[in-house]
Structure 1
Amino acid sequence: MSTTQIDRLRELLEPLAARQGMDLEDLTLTRAGRRQVLQLVVDTDEGVQLDECAELSRAASELLDAEDVMGADPYVLEVTSPGVDRPLTQPRHFRRAVGRMVRIRPTSGEVFTARLLGLDEEGLDLEIPGEKGRRPKPRRITFAEVEQVRGEVDFSRKDMPEEEA
């Protein structure tokens, strides 16, 4: 697995995912015995359905075979959506997580969990859940104050009102 092969795969598969209305979030290539495993992680603002993954998998497989970028070794192609607990690194990740619980590691201070209410170019608007019957508290944190943000499993997700156009 060379960087040039990963770069070539990304150059080939990113436009294919985009034509199907998806963002190619990650691409990994690992060896499993004699075979290689190519995993594509894709997402959209509405999430990704199983049928959409299958459709992209068929199209990617045809393209990979036609372009012969995988070499002579057999390979397995996996197309999946990102997990709930993935790191949020791009503006589109944060936008897609509005209304969900996130775990924030600030540059200073303790890690905390909050509901992402909104965002702008400078930071995040959060709601810290109340403990022991207390009311939730609003909190604002700038991107400069954030080391890492990850999605959290949320069994009590609130339905967020849709933005008015």
Structure 2
Amino acid sequence: MAFELDPVREIVERVAASSGLEVVDVEMRGGGKGRMLRIVIDRPAGAGEPHAGVTHEDCANVSREVSTILDVEDVIPGGSYVLEVSSPGLDRKLSRPVEFQRFVGSLVKLTTRNEVAGNRHFLGRLTRFEGNRLALELGNDRKQSRTAANTPQIVEIELSNVEKANLVPEI
């Protein structure tokens, strides 16, 4: 019988929501005694605030509550596992439309499934996200990042063509 992650995700989302947090990702990695349930949480942005972040205390509280519920409800078959609860980090993965919308204006490193404008790898500023289509203003360090008129090159990419996308920390 295959392990279903949906009941676990529902529990995690309930616990996170009760603390004003959102679930970014839930995944089970490994097998046998080396299994790890990895949960990534974040605090939704407030008005005019692109990213509020989570604290160590937020992660510890969610870990404690989720662990207790999972043990009582016994929704993870197969014995022991390690539970890890963390923030998305500075170079957080972007995958859901709400994440792309939230981080408009941010620097993004992106790989596409199929070529766009002759490339699959991009580094640029996310300038727009509408209707599952994003626009990147390519960075100055890329060849051909500017047009002949010396204006920044903008590429438009369908979300369904995005293989991997991460924020690039600007410190």
Q: Which band: TM-score by shorter chain? A: 0.7 to 0.9
CA gap of 1:146–1:70, structure 2 versus 1, over 3 A, is: closer
CA gap of 1:34–1:143, structure 2 versus 1, over 3 A, is: closer
Residue in structure 2 matched with residue 57 of structure 1 by the alignment: 63
Conserved? CA contact 2:38–2:85, under 8 Å:
yes
Percent identity over the alignment is 33
- Matched position secondary structure for 2:61: helix
CA gap of 1:136–1:63, structure 2 versus 1, over 3 A, is: farther
CA distance in 2, matches of 1:57, 1:18: 14
Q: For this pair of structures, how many residues does the alignment match?
A: 154
Q: Structure 1 residue aligned with 2:131, among 121, 134, 137?
A: 121
**Paired residues for 1:43-82 under 5 Å:** 43-45=42-44, 46-71=52-77, 73-82=79-88
Conserved? CA contact 1:85–1:150, under 8 Å:
no
Residue in structure 2 matched with residue 161 of structure 1 by the alignment: none
CA gap of 1:36–1:103, structure 2 versus 1, over 3 A, is: closer
Conserved? CA contact 2:91–2:169, under 8 Å:
no
- Answering whether residue 169 of structure 2 is matched by residue 154 of structure 1, we say yes
TM-score, normalising length: structure 1: 0.73
CA gap of 1:136–1:115, structure 2 versus 1, over 3 A, is: farther
- Aligned residue type for 1:37: M
CA distance in 2, matches of 1:100, 1:49: 22
RMSD of the alignment, in Å?
3.1
Report Cα offsets for 1:62-94 as digits up to 9, x if no partner.
211221223572332110122444542211111
Following TM superposition, by how much is the alpha carbon of 1:54 offset from its aligned partner in structure 2, in angstroms? 1.1
Following TM superposition, by how much is the alpha carbon of 1:124 offset from its aligned partner in structure 2, in angstroms? 2.3
Task: Return 5+ residue gaps in structure 2 as ranges.
Answer: 45-51
CA distance in 1, matches of 2:134, 2:29: 35
**Paired residues for 1:6-155 under 5 Å:** 6-31=5-30, 34=33, 36-45=35-44, 46-71=52-77, 73-106=79-112, 107-108=114-115, 109-110=118-119, 111-131=121-141, 137=152, 139-143=154-158, 146-155=161-170
